[in-house]
Amino acid sequence: MSIYDFKEQIDRYFHGKEGYNCAQTVLSILKDSCDISNITNEEIINAKSFGGGRAPNGYCGALYGVLLASDDDNKSKQILNDFKKEIENLTCREIKQVNKKSCKECILAALNSFLNNN
């Protein structure tokens, strides 16, 4: 599946009917479309607290969502590196203020980083 196949799902989940933030959006897409079985509905609901720069270390919520879904420390390190190459920063604040990237761009980058390393 191409990362661009997810654009419709991003539009549906991110601030859509469910009102999901970036972290919830990536977890929902991974669960629904990539059959990542370790993601529960409860985790998606609890990820509400990780949007808007509130993830640990100030990380982008979309990035933090894919890190939650990753089950391997080495893969997580590569996800971080790949995301930073594409978006240029890891924290929500810097991404929005310095790099001027949108949340949807970060969601795509996070999904891309996850899929390239799993």
Residue 6 pLDDT: 85
Evaluated on CA atoms 40, 61, 9, 106, the torsion sign reads negative
pLDDT-based confidence at residue 4 (cuts at 50, 70, 90): low
- Gap between the Cα atoms of 116 and 75, Å rounded: 10
Q: Across the chain, what does the average pLDDT equal?
A: 92
d(CA 48, CA 25): 10
At 33-67, the pLDDT tens digits run 887 878 999 999 999 999 989 999 999 999 999 99
Q: How far apart are CA 73 and CA 79, in angstroms?
A: 10
Q: Which helix (H) or strand (E) holds 111?
A: helix 103-116
How many C-beta neighbours within 10 Å does residue 26 have?
Answer: 34
Predicted local confidence at residue 16, as pLDDT: 87
- Range among 5-9, 13-17, 85-89 with highest mean pLDDT value: 85-89
- Could you count the other beta carbons within 10 Å of the beta carbon of residue 48? 15
pLDDT at position 23? 97
Q: Looking at the 3D structure of the chain, how many domains does it have?
A: 1
13-22, 31-40, 70-79, 82-91: least confidently modelled range = 31-40
pLDDT band for position 1 (cuts 50, 70, 90): low
Domain that holds residue 35: 3-116
Residue 3: pLDDT band by 50, 70, 90 thresholds?
A: low
CA distance 89 to 98: 9
Instruction: Please choose, from the candidates 38, 48, 64, the residue with its C-alpha nearest in 3D space to the C-alpha of residue 14.
Output: 48
Report how far residue 8's alpha carbon sits from residue 38's, in angstroms, rounded to the nearest whole number: 23
What is the pLDDT averaged over residues 104-108? Answer: 96
